[in-house]
Amino acid sequence: MLHSPVNRRAWRTVLVLASSLLAACGGDPPPPTPDPPQVTLLIPEQNVAGTGLKFNVTVTGCDAVSALNIYDRTTFLKTLPYATGTANLELLASDIRYSDPLVGIAASLSLVAEAVCDDGRKGSSLPQAATFFPVSKVVDDPEGINLYSHPLAIDGSGSTISFLSCAKKSRATDLERMYRHGATGGVGTTITVPFPCNASTEITPRHGTTKKRWVWTPDSGAFAIDDTFKVVSQTVSTMKIDSLVVLPDGDALIRTKAMELIRIAHESSGGLGLGEQKWRYVRDTAVAFGMAQPLVTGDNTALVVSQMPFVGNQAQIILEVIDLSTGALRATYTKEDYVGVDAEPPVPVAGFSSDGAVLYLGFVTGSNQSQISACVAVAEGCKGTASKWARSVTGRVTGIIPYAAGSRVAAVATQHVWSLDAATGAVRNREQRSVDANGALHVRQLIVPNQSTDLYFLNAPANTTGQAATLPLEIVAVDQQAGTDGQARELYRYQVPVSMGASLDDSNRLWLRTGVKLVQTQPSTQYRSARPVQ
């Protein structure tokens, strides 16, 4: 029932008296609930290729912390020790859940630290993003100047390893130098080199007998270095190189921008350090473009494929067989009459099987479509019995490279990599989808390990017309399930903000240069076990 104002005042008086009596009897109100602890997590380096990911945690508001739990998003990872103040902590490579679709390799993390006080109170930090790529070993770049970007070459493996690259150390007016350092860093060896190095420069594998390497830059020259890290041969300064391959005795077979073929000795002659020009092959009929690196065959010949000049939007492809001893032409085969789809068609691309039996040709057939054809190399045309197969793929083809001991063909488009069966041309990508470069990056370079079904490709920003080639920012590893029909899939992907270089050591292990560090990747088997096929 409702009460009058007088009655309500009486009730309030009774309540005040009751409260006073309770206080007099020891009935204190309960104390306020303490606030939860404050937790801060900071990651000093948020993009890491290493053996672990370092971070700092600070907890306030606990008399003592009974547990410090680390989560990736809502997934518990590990309990780490914590005493007081700011703790320097680390997650090891084995602590990450790479099989989580949100994580992958390189791991895309969102770390949260949860502190549990000894009285049971809990508090959590704000999430902090990080990218972590697990590797086996990290070596500091001894010069500390992003020296080993591209080109990058590696001699040896394990404790005998040494890294080679070339660059200008500081000012643009400095001399071009090549550097070699050991696995422990420290002071290395440098030599002044006769030609510039850039993102297009290639360092050939170390020759099995001579132990020499050739270093060459497109539209520039080439020089050879021996095992003692000395320049032992070089081309004349006026020679503009289109491609270079090393012959069985260590000499270089060079195709110039003028489409001449020249054999240069790996030893210098005379006082200028120039390699002897052993022969020069000049065609009776000029060609417009070289299409693939010449292939050295087992019968002392080289297969050379070229494109004749366009007539309108049509051009002819020819294959020449050149005697390596004399430079004489042994045979010529007409392969295709190529009809371009554009007013100024892109040059077709080509690649040889390792034994020279098959010539793979790639043509752009539409705005975002290409055709790959497998032709019998030493035969006329690429139809009928001279044709093995043809396959259409998405993208504008830029390269064709056999791999997996010749059982697969990598068809490289601007942003896509297709894995094709070398025998049938069937697409062997998982779910029939290409493995692609990230975002606007373009596929720049493929790395093919010996006797392996793995494949690596480096991706870089698109080149600006007239500018030097851009340096890679991303590497993607592709592996293959067992069996001849095994699907090729992306195994891992790692991107850096500045640039990277990559090369294989003598044990077939991949090394990366990221920032001012050189890192040895884990064996592919470890990445596979961390990210099994779904």
Q: Give CA–CA dist 252/355, Å, rounded.
A: 19
The helix (H) or strand (E) run that includes residue 20 is: helix 5-24
The stretch 423-441 carries a mean pLDDT of 95
Residue 278 CA to residue 499 CA, distance in Å, equals 39
Q: Is the separation of the CB atoms in 412 and 405 below 8 Å?
A: no
Q: Provide the CA 341 distance to its chain's centre, in angstroms.
A: 32
Distance CA 145, CA 310 (A): 45
Confidence band for 117, pLDDT divided at 50, 70 and 90 = very high
Closest C-alpha to 156, from 129, 195, 187, 183: 183
For residue 1, the model assigns a pLDDT of 40
- pLDDT for 12 equals 42
> Could you tell me which of 378, 377, 413 has the C-alpha nearest to residue 392?
413
Cis status of the peptide bond prior to 151, with omega within 30 of 0: yes
Mean pLDDT, the chain, integer:
87
Q: Which residues pair with 316 in a beta bridge?
A: 337
**Among the listed ranges 16-30, 234-248, 311-325, 416-430, which one has the minimum average pLDDT value?**
16-30
pLDDT of res. 15: 38
- Say which amino acid occupies 500: M
Residues 195 and 217: their CA atoms lie apart, in Å, by 8
pLDDT of residue 141: 67
Q: How confident is the model at residue 5, as a pLDDT? A: 46
- pLDDT value at position 314? 75
List C-alpha distances in Å: 34 to 83, 117, 121.
21, 11, 8
Q: What is the pLDDT of residues 328-381, one digit of tens each?
A: 999 999 987 766 666 666 778 999 999 999 999 999 888 889 999 999 999 999
Task: Give the tokens for residue 50.
Answer: 């290493």
**Residue 148 pLDDT exceeds 70:** no
pTM for the whole structure: 0.88
**Count of beta carbons in the 10 Å neighbourhood of residue 512:** 24
Q: Which residues contact 66 (CB under 8 A, 6 or more apart)?
A: 116, 117, 118
Per DSSP, the three-state class of 11 is: helix
Structure-model confidence comparison of residues 414 and 169, the more confident one = 414
Average pLDDT of span 88-110? 94
User: How far apart (Å, rounded) are the C-alpha atoms in residues 293 and 352?
Assistant: 9
Sign of the Cα torsion 524, 525, 527, 528 reads: positive
Q: Provide the residue count of the chain.
A: 534
Give pLDDT, residue 142.
Answer: 64
Q: What Cα–Cα distance (Å) separates residue 127 from each residue in 62, 105, 107?
A: 21, 20, 15
Tell me which of 92-96, 333-337, 355-359, 495-499 is least confident.
333-337
Please list the helix, strand and coil fractions of the chain in percent, rounded to the nearest 5, in that order. Answer: 5, 50, 45
Number of helices followed by number of strands (H, E) in the chain: 2, 41
Type of residue found at 145 = I
Q: Which comes out higher in pLDDT, residue 271 or 106?
A: 106
| Dist CA 424 CA 401 (whole Å) | 16
Q: Which two tokens stand for residue 221?
A: 């020259």
pLDDT > 70? residue 101: yes
N-to-C CA span, the chain: 71
- For every residue of 27-55, which 3-state class applies, written as one string? CCCCCCCCCCCEEEEECCCCEEEECEEEE
Give pLDDT, residue 302: 97
Distance CA 117, CA 124 (A): 12
| H or E element in which residue 529 lies | helix 524-530
Query: What's the pLDDT at 190?
Result: 87
Give Cα 356 to chain centroid, integer Å: 28
Question: Mind listing the pLDDT tens digit for each residue in 438-449?
Answer: 999 999 999 999
| Share of residues in the chain with pLDDT > 70 (%) | 88
Res 400: pLDDT: 97
Per-position b or e across 359-381, b if 16+ CB within 10 A of its CB: bbbbbbbeeebbbbbbbbbbeee
Question: Could you give the CA distance from residue 445 to residue 431 in angstroms, rounded to a whole number?
Answer: 24
Q: Which residues contact 513 (CB under 8 A, 6 or more apart)?
A: 141, 146, 147, 148, 149, 152, 165, 500, 501, 502, 519
How many other CB atoms are there within 10 angstroms of residue 297's CB atom? 18
- 86, 73 contact by CB (below 8 A): no
Of 24-38, 113-127, 234-248, 424-438, give the lowest mean pLDDT range: 24-38
Whether 228 shows a pLDDT value over 50: the answer reads yes
Are 373 and 361 contacting, i.e. CB atoms less than 8 angstroms apart? yes
Pairing outcome for strands 86-92 and 349-352: unpaired
Q: What value does the mean pLDDT take over residues 490-517? A: 90
Nearest one of 346, 344, 395, 356 to 372, comparing CA atoms: 395
Looking at residue 495, the DSSP 8-state letter turns out to be E
H/E segment holding residue 189 = strand 189-192
Chain center to CA of 531? 18
